[in-house]
Structure 1
Amino acid sequence: MLEKLEFLVDKYQDLNSKISDPEIISNTQEWQKYVKEHAEIEPIVVKYREYKEVVEQLEEAKEMLQDKLEDDFKEMVKLEVNELTQKSEELTEELKMLLVPKDPNDDKNVIVEIRAGAGGDEAGIFAGDLFRMYSRFTEKQRWKIDIMSCNNQGVGGFKEVIFMVKGKGAYSKLKYESGVHRVQRVPATESGGRIHTSTATVAVLPEADDIDIDINMNDVRVDVYRSSGNGGQSVNTTDSAVRLTHEPTGIVVACQDEKSQLKNKDKAFKILKARLYDKKLAEQNAEIAQARKSQVGSGDRSAKIRTYNFPQGRITDHRINMTVYKLDAFLDGDIHEMIDALITTDQAERLQEIES
């Protein structure tokens, strides 16, 4: 740990020089990158310097105990040794927590994609329930929500809904929601009272900055067409809908919710950037995920992460084996307890990796 801290001190000093270099300052993107890195390292360096000062004082106090001292003074030095020992232990724990790798995307806005899975109409209704749950949670956090694209189904709910959540730390809390959500309940259309199981998938993508993803426009095919959804005047009479096809990856994004072709194009590009950035992150994290025992923070979207059981009024998160019995409140956006438990588990696993 000390070697890593010394390395960070050297890196911090190097970054100090870089962000003061006129040549680097003239390159805004490069300068912003170094400033961000400098700000992330600074709290660790400040805490480490405090730790080194306490350790130095502790060594001096221990050396004094080796000398012949008057009883009263010796007791005072012993007391100081105890206090400094406790302080150094506290600082060691604080440094360990600071060294836990911080997800660089944690402070970003997110794009959330909810899609109905297995279960027909009931799956679409459940997708609508999840959208409402995240909308209420967003309100409680005082974040903002912006619907990017939606595909309604006739009986209520969604075949697919994509929306952006804007707010500091949105990704840090919502990233654990990626995966398959399962619901067990008796559908309103079921006359025999049988319990049905349906699913919906959730993908949480950090919003990609221009620094993160640079799209070559030659790789993107842009098609415009008439919107097929319900809307106001002109929605179905002008070519306002936009479909983007990223040819190297085959990723397709379509937006038709806005009357303006320009607005639809802007939203589609935001979704495309987020999906390309997520693909890049998934590739980078594949090796890390193999080394980790748990999938809590890996965003594995093929895994069943949670079950919402209506007859028993419970929600179970299968990654951390946690069950809470407050289904109505949970679906009304009261998901803090579950998210906090997932964050705590993830941090504990990362801390264990540092100590091992």
Structure 2
Amino acid sequence: MINLPRDRMDQVVKRFDMLEAQMSAGPAADAYVRMASEYADMQEMVAKIRQLRGAEHEQADLQAMLADKSTDAEMRALAEADLPEVRERIEALQRDIQILLLPKDAADDKNAILEIRAGTGGDEAALFAGDLFRMYERYAAARGWRFETVSASEGEVGGYKEIIATISGKGVFAHLKFESGVH
């Protein structure tokens, strides 16, 4: 289990609720745009925090059921079966929230340029570069990002000797900034 800063999570939810109330009050256009941007940035984190709290309540209920001697055998068996899944869900949510609580990099909302070059290995390397390119293309499509090929130099039997693409959308650079290296 990850020890998350509960007070920080409470502050985020409180700020989110306050922004929601202020936005519904009909502020001036420039203030509304600023608040809407902050609100949108916080939506994913607040949703995860609320899911975590729900899962923690569910875990507490299941543990209480198991601790209660009057719980019948069938309910006890169901609680024992559900508890590991709930714990896994809590751990996954905690990891997600831990990442979302990290300070934002100024470049996180920027777009990215993807360059893939076939290394040593001739045709096999070109085929692998093609597979890698298609993987990134599908990843971008799954996230709703715009993917545009800038230039491509195809290999002799398929794949690419070199291919360059731009990926644009919300949070592209934040997700891809650590993607580098020789494969």
Show the counterpart of 1:49: 50
Unaligned 5+ segments in structure 1 are 111-134, 144-166, 174-335, 343-356
Give the residue type in structure 2 aligned to 1:14.
M
Larger radius of gyration: 1
Structure 2 CA distance for partners of 1:37 and 1:96, relative to 1, 3 Å: same
Moved over 6 A (4+): none
Question: Aligned equivalents of 2:95 and 2:38: distance in 1?
Answer: 23
Question: Aligned equivalents of 1:81 and 1:87: distance in 2?
Answer: 10
Quote how far apart the aligned CAs of 1:83 are: 1.6
**Equivalent residues in 2 for 1:82-231, closer than 5 Å:** 82-108=84-110, 140-142=164-166, 167-168=168-169, 172=173
Q: TM-score, normalised by structure 2?
A: 0.58
Question: Aligned equivalents of 1:84 and 1:41: distance in 2?
Answer: 24
Of residues 7, 12, 16 in structure 1, which corresponds to 2:11?
7
Quote how far apart the aligned CAs of 1:47 are: 0.8
Of residues 70, 73, 80 in structure 1, which corresponds to 2:72?
70
Give the residue type in structure 2 aligned to 1:56.
H
Structure 2 CA distance for partners of 1:30 and 1:13, relative to 1, 3 Å: same
Describe the SS at the equivalent of 2:24: coil
Quote how far apart the aligned CAs of 1:33 are: 1.3
When you count strand as a share of all residues, which structure comes out higher?
1
Quote how far apart the aligned CAs of 1:171 are: 8.4
Show the counterpart of 1:79: 81
Give the residue type in structure 2 aligned to 1:12.
F
Give the residue type in structure 2 aligned to 1:91.
L
When you count helix as a share of all residues, which structure comes out higher?
2
Structure 2 CA distance for partners of 1:102 and 1:141, relative to 1, 3 Å: farther
Show the counterpart of 1:233: none
Residues 107 and 170 in structure 1, CA contact (< 8 A), matched pair in contact too: yes
Give the residue type in structure 2 aligned to 1:4.
R
Show the counterpart of 1:36: 37
Question: Aligned equivalents of 1:35 and 1:106: distance in 2?
Answer: 18
Question: Aligned equivalents of 2:171 and 2:96: distance in 1?
Answer: 24
1:234-258 deviation digits (Å, cap 9, x = unpaired)? xxxxxxxxxxxxxxxxxxxxxxxxx
Quote how far apart the aligned CAs of 1:170 are: 9.3
Question: Aligned equivalents of 2:84 and 2:100: distance in 1?
Answer: 24
Residues 105 and 171 in structure 1, CA contact (< 8 A), matched pair in contact too: no
Describe the SS at the equivalent of 2:179: helix
Give the residue type in structure 1 aligned to 2:22.
K
Q: TM-score, normalised by structure 1?
A: 0.32
RMSD across aligned positions (CA): 3.1
Quote how far apart the aligned CAs of 1:104 are: 4.6
Unaligned 5+ segments in structure 2 are 113-149, 153-162
Quote how far apart the aligned CAs of 1:169 are: 6.1
Structure 2 CA distance for partners of 1:172 and 1:61, relative to 1, 3 Å: same
Structure 2 CA distance for partners of 1:29 and 1:80, relative to 1, 3 Å: same
Question: Aligned equivalents of 1:43 and 1:170: distance in 2?
Answer: 12
Of residues 7, 19, 23 in structure 2, which corresponds to 1:19?
23
Question: Aligned equivalents of 1:66 and 1:170: distance in 2?
Answer: 45
Give the residue type in structure 2 aligned to 1:340.
E
Aligned residue pairs total 128
Describe the SS at the equivalent of 1:141: strand
Quote how far apart the aligned CAs of 1:341 are: 4.0
Residues 107 and 171 in structure 1, CA contact (< 8 A), matched pair in contact too: yes
Structure 2 CA distance for partners of 1:107 and 1:58, relative to 1, 3 Å: same
Residues 9 and 49 in structure 2, CA contact (< 8 A), matched pair in contact too: yes
Residues 111 and 166 in structure 2, CA contact (< 8 A), matched pair in contact too: no
**Relative contact order (alpha carbons < 8 A, sep ≥ 6): 1 or 2 greater?**
2
Structure 2 CA distance for partners of 1:66 and 1:29, relative to 1, 3 Å: same
Quote how far apart the aligned CAs of 1:11 are: 0.3
Give identity over the alignment, percent: 19
